[in-house]
Amino acid sequence: MATQIVMDHTGDSRHFFDQTDQEGLATAERRFRKLTGQGFTATTRTPSGDLRVVRAFDPTADETLFYPRLVGG
């Protein structure tokens, strides 16, 4: 089971999907495109445990973390 974790001002929400299910993959890819289109940054974990920014949906990623654009000033 793969997970997409979406961070926002309320905390986080988790969306689970089966990587072998085409419908689940399509839904996950739509969510990826929607969130990154809204300015969220998407990251996946490297084998060493570090986060790596990704610009395209990776259907093999076990975990994708989305966090909102930081606003400062």
Beta bridge partners of residue 64, listed in sequence order? 4, 44
Question: Is the residue at 73 inside a domain?
Answer: no
CA 20 to centroid of chain Cα atoms = 17
CATH number, residue 57: 3.10.20
Q: What is the pLDDT confidence band of residue 69, given thresholds at 50, 70 and 90? A: confident
For residue 25, the one-letter residue type is L
Label the pairing between strands 2-8 and 63-67: parallel
Domain count, the chain: 1
Contact 28, 58 (CB under 8 A): no
pLDDT at 73 over 80: no
Structural domain of 25:
2-67
Q: What confidence tens digit (pLDDT) does each residue in 12-40 have?
A: 999 999 999 999 999 999 999 999 999 99
Q: What is the pLDDT confidence band of residue 9, given thresholds at 50, 70 and 90? A: confident
Question: Is the residue at 72 inside a domain?
Answer: no
Question: Is the residue at 14 inside a domain?
Answer: yes
Question: Is the residue at 42 inside a domain?
Answer: yes
pTM: 0.90
% of the chain beyond a pLDDT of 70: 96
User: Could you give the CA distance from residue 46 to residue 31 in angstroms, rounded to a whole number?
Assistant: 21
> For residue 43, what pLDDT is reported?
97
